[in-house]
């Protein structure tokens, strides 16, 4: 057995035990992790300094460096996050449905963990802790493969979590960190059938594509958001401007940020100049259709590619449309099925938008930035699913579970 | 655009309309299909005769020929099945959850169709109708690819359903039958990202493997069942014999049939001879471990492979175990996570079995043959999922849906 399969085998064994731990045991493990992160801050910062130095040398972009950097405050934030997950209700064992059949069979649908959850992610070390503790609370063994830039930090974080689990009397293999960042091993991980039950890639489009091409284990696609705001003819223009500003400027690097605004021709002349002025605060670069440019002369012409891409930056595509229908077909063409919004005072238009737009979250008169486990009231999330199978939108503890049918009889045969 | 992509594009367009049809419209389409199957029985039988003649010539096994054969009774049964699906509640639009957030946002989790559901299946023509109508009722466009042996029959069945949909005023592309049985086209279908939302292969292990290797669209694995019965030391031996007989002999070709019996050593001498005698009625061939053969001399020795395979035949593997723990580890090693049963009078043993065995359905004192949508009280099923992601066990209308978050605000920003 090679090293990868040995780790996978241990993770699977641990998952069998973890599925049977009660809530108190899992919470004891989580509290031990939170305390260990605080107590061993020095080691974490040291490893992170080395990763940072190497990343700077290799010319990593400032935004990426910032995601890699840990500080005492950020480590305290991680520990706080662990305790928040502790406080969430345990989904395992929940009776989802009960059926008493005429033949006397008694059937319960009971929530159970998925088993081993694989997570492949990029340079953010906080994912190592977030993902591990969400898996732990939901009864799943976490099998983690992080990016090479954060390797040293991740290795220390995983070691601290494993030590804490052992001290708390849990199986330390409930958390596995793959100590090999080669692409070949990542590919092999995506094919660990019989060991990993579900794979969740967290990262850019390149990673997602690689997983889809390579994986033979069930996968949940996450995180690409080409989100639209449609400003209807009946829209409150001031509200629309604020929702656009929030969607584009509050945090442009995240998946629920806006990328394109569509404006009904009847309000374009009022809306566009006001929006342009408001977004100047963040030096937003506009790329517009011809009709947008007639109202906002001097902005760049939008290409097909501009409408299709997630800028993740202070750039906005804009288009004037003649009708709600035109807006709906633009969205149908370019959506990544993440979050889409309409601003309107017309109930019929709102109703059509909500029904016809095919996305994880559809909004009337609110910002797409709310698509988030915390904002939806379901606690921390492991990612935002953009596929329709299994889970859609923010994935919290419940979305990290499956179920089984428990059937009790007294000799029934068919 | 090639022919496959053209069909896929039409299916996707139809799915957009179908998602918005109300229950009455969908039921009108279903009733039209049921009536057309009855009215055009002659055409169906003619096409089936040709498929049967060709299959006989090519030397198809009798069991397979029987699956391929349609008769007036079987066609009437198909039409009856369509009307049963009509009578099931429509899952689309169901409000699964409602949250009022402190910031005034009102969030509803609403059940929606998956979109386009791809189904790749083998020689049984009834799947063409079953799958299409389950998809239709749950608001999904069905994209069907059947085996070449039933091609003529399937083509006629699909044509009849499309005509019926048109007559009832629905988009006939709600049902697509791929008129090309090449492997290359099937492979291309498994990679129709952006067109097919979920792929459900229905067939043998070879097909499932091919799909897992090839597909880039989300897939639900179905139908392999290496099911076990464990006869505990406290078991009612007569009950255990009847449950074994039912599980092995009532329909050995199906996935919820039993393949292996595990017997606690304390009851082996009472149970095995009685079971052997009962199963002689169906000439069941036993393959046992050494301890089984000490009690049932003359039976074949079981190999590792016998324990690992799904016989789908009147063959049974048997093993005497020293404890519940040994039974649990045998099951953990060989299970395909479909259905597993214990016969016991000991509540603690039952509880451990139900908790620790990782399968879609776990039984105490009842036959594994009950793992079935109808028997579980949820109506017709499109297959039995053996994976943990999305749906587990029998997949009915609800399991053919996803959900979206519908968020209503009055200007909220984050």
Q: What is the pLDDT of residue A63?
A: 78
Range(s) for CATH 3.40.605.10 in chain B?
Answer: 3-221+387-408
pLDDT tens-digit map of B274-318: 999 999 999 999 999 999 999 999 999 999 999 999 998 999 999
Smallest Cβ distance to B365: which of A193, A359, A409? Answer: A409
Q: What is the pLDDT of residue A40?
A: 98
What is the reported pTM?
0.94
Q: What is the pLDDT of residue B209?
A: 87
Task: Write phi, then psi, for A223 (nearest 5 degrees).
Answer: 90, -5
State the CATH architecture for B227-370: 3-Layer(aba) Sandwich (3.40)
Angstrom distance (rounded) from CA B57 to CA B49: 12
Tally A–B CB contacts below 8 A: 204
Smallest Cβ distance to B243: which of A20, A405, A411? Answer: A411
Residues of A in contact with B365 (CB under 8 A): 408-412
Q: What is the pLDDT of residue B360?
A: 98
Smallest Cβ distance to B405: which of A101, A376, A405? Answer: A376
Give the CA angle between residues A73, A77, A78 to the nearest 5°: 120
Residues of A in contact with B221 (CB under 8 A): 218
Whether B369 sits inside 8 A of A414 (CB atoms) is yes
Nearest chain B residue to A355 by CA: give it.
B20
Q: What is the pLDDT of residue A377?
A: 86
Angstrom distance (rounded) from CA A122 to CA A151: 10
Q: What is the pLDDT of residue B205?
A: 81
Residues of B in contact with A308 (CB under 8 A): none
Nearest chain B residue to A362 by CA: give it.
B406
Q: What is the mean pLDDT of residues B168-186?
A: 96
Whether B376 sits inside 8 A of A107 (CB atoms) is yes
Nearest to A400 by CA among A143, A12, A116: A116
CATH of A227-374, one of 3.40.50.300, 3.40.309.10, 3.40.718.10, 3.30.70.980: 3.40.309.10
Q: What is the pLDDT of residue A62?
A: 85
Mutate to test the interface with A, among B16, B22, B199, B218 (most CBs of A within 10 A): B218
Q: What is the pLDDT of residue B258?
A: 98
Annotation: CATH topology of B3-221+387-408? Aldehyde Dehydrogenase; Chain A, domain 1 (3.40.605)
Per-residue pLDDT band for B161 (boundaries 50, 70, 90) equals: very high
Q: What is the mean pLDDT of residues B125-140?
A: 96
Across chain A, mean pLDDT equals 96
Range(s) for CATH 3.40.605.10 in chain A?
Answer: 3-221+389-408
Q: What is the mean pLDDT of residues B192-201?
A: 95
Distance from CA of A2 to the nearest CA of B (A): 20
- Global ipTM: 0.95
pLDDT tens-digit map of A225-267: 999 999 999 999 999 999 999 999 999 988 999 999 999 999 9
Q: What is the mean pLDDT of residues B168-172?
A: 98
Across chain B, mean pLDDT equals 96
Please tell me what DSSP assigns to residue B280: G
- What six digits make up the tokens of A70? 């840990």
Other CB atoms within a 10 A radius of the CB of residue B106 amount to 15
Nearest chain B residue to A199 by CA: give it.
B389
Whether A405 sits inside 8 A of B377 (CB atoms) is no
Please tell me what DSSP assigns to residue B395: E
The list of chain A residues with pLDDT below 70 reads none
Smallest Cβ distance to A376: which of B107, B376, B413? Answer: B107
Q: What is the pLDDT of residue B378?
A: 82
Asked if the model's pLDDT at residue B396 lies above 80, the reply is: yes
Range(s) for CATH 3.40.309.10 in chain A?
Answer: 227-374
Residues of A in contact with B377 (CB under 8 A): 99, 101, 107
Q: Decide: B225 and B255 in contact? Cβ < 8 Å.
A: yes
Strands in B238-297 per DSSP E: 258-264, 285-288
How remote is the C-alpha of B241 from its chain's centroid?
27
Q: What is the pLDDT of residue A253?
A: 87
Smallest Cβ distance to A359: which of B220, B387, B404? Answer: B404
Per-residue pLDDT band for B78 (boundaries 50, 70, 90) equals: very high
Q: What is the pLDDT of residue A124?
A: 86
Q: Which range is least confidently modeled, A110-114, B50-54, B214-218, B245-249?
A: B214-218
Asked if the model's pLDDT at residue B1 lies above 80, the reply is: no
Q: How many CA atoms lie within 13 A of A10 on its CB side?
A: 15
Annotation: CATH topology of A3-221+389-408? Aldehyde Dehydrogenase; Chain A, domain 1 (3.40.605)
Please tell me what DSSP assigns to residue B388: S
Q: What is the pLDDT of residue A160?
A: 98
Range(s) for CATH 3.40.309.10 in chain B?
Answer: 227-370
Distance from CA of B80 to the nearest CA of A (A): 22
3-state secondary structure of B393: strand
Q: What is the pLDDT of residue B303?
A: 97
Nearest chain A residue to B368 by CA: give it.
A413
Residues of B in contact with A220 (CB under 8 A): 389
pLDDT tens-digit map of B215-225: 999 999 987 89
Q: What is the pLDDT of residue B124?
A: 86
Q: What is the pLDDT of residue A204?
A: 81
Q: What is the mean pLDDT of residues B97-121?
A: 97
Angstrom distance (rounded) from CA B24 to CA B29: 9
């Amino acid at each position: 057995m090679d090293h990868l399969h040995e780790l996978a085998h241990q993770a699977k064994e641990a998952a069998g035990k973890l599925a049977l731990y009660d809530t108190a045991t899992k919470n004891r493990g989580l509290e031990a992790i939170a305390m260990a992160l605080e107590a061993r801050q020095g080691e974490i910062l040291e490893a992170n300094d080395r990763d940072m130095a190497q990343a700077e040398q290799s010319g990593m972009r400032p935004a990426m460096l910032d995601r890699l950097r840990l500080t005492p405050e950020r480590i305290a934030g991680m520990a706080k996050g662990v305790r928040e997950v502790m406080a969430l209700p345990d989904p395992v064992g929940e009776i989802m449905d009960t059926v008493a059949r005429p033949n006397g069979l008694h059937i319960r649908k009971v929530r159970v963990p998925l088993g081993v959850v694989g997570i492949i992610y990029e340079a953010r070390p906080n994912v190592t802790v977030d993902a591990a503790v969400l898996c732990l609370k939901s009864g799943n063994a976490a099998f983690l493969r992080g990016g090479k830039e954060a390797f040293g930090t991740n290795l220390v974080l995983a070691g601290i979590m494993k030590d804490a689990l052992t001290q708390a009397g849990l199986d330390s293999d409930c958390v596995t960190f793959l100590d090999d960042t080669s692409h070949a091993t990542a590919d092999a991980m995506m094919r660990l059938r019989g060991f990993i039950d579900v794979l969740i890639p967290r990262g850019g489009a390149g990673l997602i594509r690689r997983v889809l091409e390579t994986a033979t284990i069930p996968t949940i696609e996450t995180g690409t958001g080409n989100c639209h705001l449609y400003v209807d003819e009946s829209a409150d223009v001031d509200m629309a401007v604020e929702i656009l500003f929030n969607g584009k400027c509050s945090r442009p690097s995240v998946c629920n940020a806006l990328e394109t605004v569509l404006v009904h021709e009847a309000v374009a002349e009022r809306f566009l100049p006001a929006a342009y002025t408001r977004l100047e605060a963040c030096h937003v670069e506009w790329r517009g259709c011809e009709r947008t440019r007639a109202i906002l002369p001097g902005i760049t012409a939008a290409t097909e590619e501009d409408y299709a891409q997630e800028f993740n930056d202070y750039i906005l595509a804009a288009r004037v449309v003649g009708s709600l229908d035109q807006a709906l077909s633009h969205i149908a063409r370019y959506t990544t099925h993440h979050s889409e919004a309409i601003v309107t005072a017309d109930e019929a238009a709102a109703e059509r938008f909500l029904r016809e737009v095919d996305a994880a979250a559809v909004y009337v008169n609110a910002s797409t930035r709310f698509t988030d486990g915390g904002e939806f009231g379901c606690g921390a999330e492991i990612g935002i699913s953009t596929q329709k199978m299994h889970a859609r939108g923010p994935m919290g503890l419940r979305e990290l579970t499956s179920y089984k049918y428990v059937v009790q009889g007294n000799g029934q045969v068919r």
